[in-house]
Amino acid sequence: MNWVGDAPAGSEHFATLPKLFLAGISLLVVLLVATYAKGSVAASAIVIGLAGGYLVALSMGMVDMNQIAQASWFAAPEPLKFGLSFSWPAIISMCLAYIVVIAEATGDFLALASNCHRTISGKDLKRGLLGDGIGSAIGSFFGAMPLASFSQNVGIVGITGVASRFVVGTTGGLLILAGLFPKFGALAVTVPKPVLGGVGFIMFGMIAYAGIRMLVKAADTRRNALVICVSLAAGLAVTIKPSLLQHMHHDIAQLLHSGITTGTIVAVVLNLVLPKSKEDVHAEKQAEEEELNSEYTQPLSEETADPVMASSNTQGEIQDEQGSKPTQ
C-alpha cells in the first residue's frame, strides 16, 4: 500500500488518483497476460506488467530521469571501504536481527517448495540459510547491507511457473552488471512505486495463498487450530500495534517487532508445549497418508516442457533445469 501511495502516510499526496490509476493499469496488464497468453509470454507476465506500467507512467510524466543522468557510467566495488571492526553490541544486535531473517527465509523456502510441488527437507533448509549467510558475509565485505530472501519471488514463481535456477543465476548476473554500471541500475530505480505496488498486489497475495495452501494440508484438529490462531494473532498484533512492545527491553522488542518472528516463535513454542491426544496423532497420520497418496496419484503431463522454463499456463507445470518429468 505504501508503494501505491508513494508518499508519507497522512499526506494529501498519498494515493492520488494518477497513482491509483497507474497501479491499476500495472495490475490489469499482469492479469491479462497471465490469463490469456501462453508459453514464455505468460511466464513473463510480471515483467510485461512492469514494462506496461512504466510506459504509461512515462506518458503521464511520472518518471524521474534525473537519477539516470546523475549516475556514473562505471563504478568498481571497494572492499572494506568502511574498515573492519568488531563490536559485541553490534554482533548481538545483528544475531537478533538474523533470527527474524531465518524465520522469514524458512517461510519463503517452504512456500516456494509448495509452489514447485516439491518436498523440502531440513537439509534443504540448512543449505538455503547457509547460502543467505555466505551471501551476507561476502556482500558486507564489499560494503553492501546484509541480505534477506525476497518473499515476493515466491509470488512470481506462483504466477509465472518459472522455477529454474538458471533464471535465478541470470538475474544475479544482471544485478552484478547493475552494480558495475550505475546508469543501468538507476534505470531500474526509476520505475515508479505505484507500478511496483500494482504488481505487488499479486506477488504478496500469492505468498498468502501459498501459506493457506500449506495450512490446508495440515491435520484439521483443535490443537492445530489453537497453534495457528494464536501464532497468527500474535504476529498480526505486533505488526498492527508496535506500541505493544514499548515497555519491553530494547533487545527483546527488537526481536519481537517483526510479526514473522513473533508468529514463528509462538507457533514453535505452542507446538512443543501443547499435548497431543490420540485423536490428534491419528488425524496427523491420516493427513500425511492422504498427502503422500495424492503425490503418487498426480497425473503426469503428456507434453514435453522446456527443462529451463516451464509456464504455469501450460497446465500448471513446474519443472527444474535437470530435465525431470513435470508434475501437475
Summarize pLDDT for 231-273 with one digit per residue, the tens: 999 999 999 999 999 898 887 887 788 888 888 889 989 999 9
**Amino acid letter, residue 305:** A
Q: Of the given ranges (38-47, 122-131, 306-315), which has the lowest mean pLDDT? A: 306-315
Band of the pLDDT at 292, cuts 50, 70, 90? low
The mean per-residue pLDDT over the stretch 23-28 comes to: 94
Q: At residue 23, does pLDDT exceed 90?
A: yes
pLDDT at residue 294, as a whole number:
62
Q: At residue 177, does pLDDT exceed 80?
A: yes
pLDDT at residue 321, as a whole number:
42
pLDDT at residue 232, as a whole number:
92
Range with the largest mean pLDDT of 15-24, 76-85, 289-298: 15-24
As a whole number of angstroms, the distance between CA 111 and CA 210 comes to 5
Cα-Cα-Cα-Cα dihedral of 127, 130, 136, 137, to 10°? -130
pLDDT at residue 322, as a whole number:
43
| Grid cell in block for residue 171 | 538475474
Higher pLDDT, 107 or 316: 107
CA angle 168, 170, 173 (to 5 degrees): 115
pLDDT in tens, 217-227: 777 888 889 99
pLDDT at residue 269, as a whole number:
92
Range with the largest mean pLDDT of 154-163, 194-203, 248-257, 288-297: 194-203
Band of the pLDDT at 163, cuts 50, 70, 90? confident
DSSP class of residue 10 equals T
Q: How deeply is 12 buried, as exposed, middle or buried, from its count of CB atoms within 10 A (0-12, 13-18, 19+)?
A: exposed
As a whole number of angstroms, the distance between CA 255 and CA 265 comes to 10
* Mean of the per-residue pLDDT values of the chain: 81
